[in-house]
Structure 1
């Protein structure tokens, strides 16, 4: 694991968005395994050096790891926006590193780049890959809770639309030394999962 900024350890909560229905996969994506470890376990291990706590956005208990806890959605059927709103509300830190459970190849180098790029005034720092925004991978401030709440109450559940209403920035990763094509690979279908042997 390279260049971990341990000075930031007291500043961040990790949030793993794991509230999806996994309908295309046909089984719970969070509990799928790579080399004997579930996606949840892999992401918890990646986040732990950076975070004082890890929140799993889910109605189910996903892991027994000591520093991880599950937080259910306050408002059901609101997608990733609802998961973020609920998790940020329960976070013990102002800044929160957010990843999605279906991107198990997120690396420590990527997270280190995110934390190094973050600015105190930002409510959302979003990762971009080849100019494509990935709003479920980034750093979110607890200060964004009120904005999420207002938008969800008004039935605006589109994450990018909500982000545009707060101080935000994006960071492009495609030109970085650590970048590879699998780093934000979404494992959503049975076919995606079968291809994992080629991506390891």
Structure 2
């Protein structure tokens, strides 16, 4: 599931449509997910990005990443969704596979970097729907506030495969984009 329903306020323009090396961030993420999964959904009301093969799923509770996760998890044909934000410059299928291989016995598998949790690049089971819905109904939109109600496996940065930091670096501001452009080979 590609989270693409945000308003990109800090960037000042639609992050999904930003281009890196002639390819939009959205298409980079879409191609990466399609290389790993049979079904890919767009979380958020984004008919401009949707295709017949990759539909968008409108949020039942609009206005947050948690609402996007909930909507996509509700619509998914499988018991799991892997959430990825649309603003990653270098989404890595090997990091996704690494996380997938650690799901047995858990409801959520989430990377934890020195900067904190990465809840929008994580694996969620349908067991999360009830706690998510209760939170959303009361106006609580912080994704990890329901983690204490489900079984969560935290993958600390020292256990993640090489390249994880580059793969998880998202672009939120024009400065992030400039800084990344200067670092690119």
TM over 0.5: yes
- CA–CA distance in 1 between the matches of 2:32 and 2:115? 25
Instruction: Give 2:131's match in structure 1, choosing from 128, 147, 156.
Output: 147
- The whole-number CA distance in structure 1 between the counterparts of 2:120 and 2:180 is 21
Structure 1 residue 85 corresponds to structure 2 residue 77:
no
Q: Do residues 54 (structure 1) and 18 (structure 2) align?
A: no
Residue in 2 that maps onto 1:161: 145
- Tell me if the contact between 1:22 and 1:188 (Cα under 8 Å) persists in the aligned partners: yes
Instruction: State the 1:191 CA deviation.
Output: 1.2
Q: Does the aligned pair in 2 maintain the 1:124–1:140 contact within 8 Å?
A: yes
Partner residue of 2:53 out of 64, 67, 85: 67
Structure in which a larger fraction of residues adopt helix: 2
Distance 1:131 1:175 in 2: 15
1:133 counterpart residue number: 117
Post-superposition offset of 1:83: 0.7
Give the TM-score taking structure 1 as reference length.
0.84
Give the CA deviation at 1:195. 2.3
2:167 paired residue among 183, 193, 199: 183
Which residue in the other structure is 1:34 paired with? 20
Q: CA deviation at 1:57?
A: 1.0
For structure 2, the 5+ residue unaligned runs are none
Secondary structure, counterpart of 1:96 in structure 2: strand
Query: Residues 180 and 148 of structure 1: is their aligned pair in 2 closer, same or farther, counting only changes over 3 Å?
Result: closer
Q: CA deviation at 1:104?
A: 3.0
Q: Residue 81 of structure 2: which of 96, 102, 122 is its match?
A: 96
The Cα offsets for residues 177-198 of structure 1, whole Å up to 9 and x where unpaired, read as: 4225322112011111122323
The unaligned stretches of length 5 or more in structure 1 are 1-14
> Normalising by the residue count of structure 2, what TM-score does the alignment of the two structures yield?
0.91
Alignment match, 2:96:
111
State the shift of 1:130 in Å: 2.7
Q: Are the aligned partners of 2:50 and 2:56 in contact in 1 as well (CA < 8 Å)?
A: no
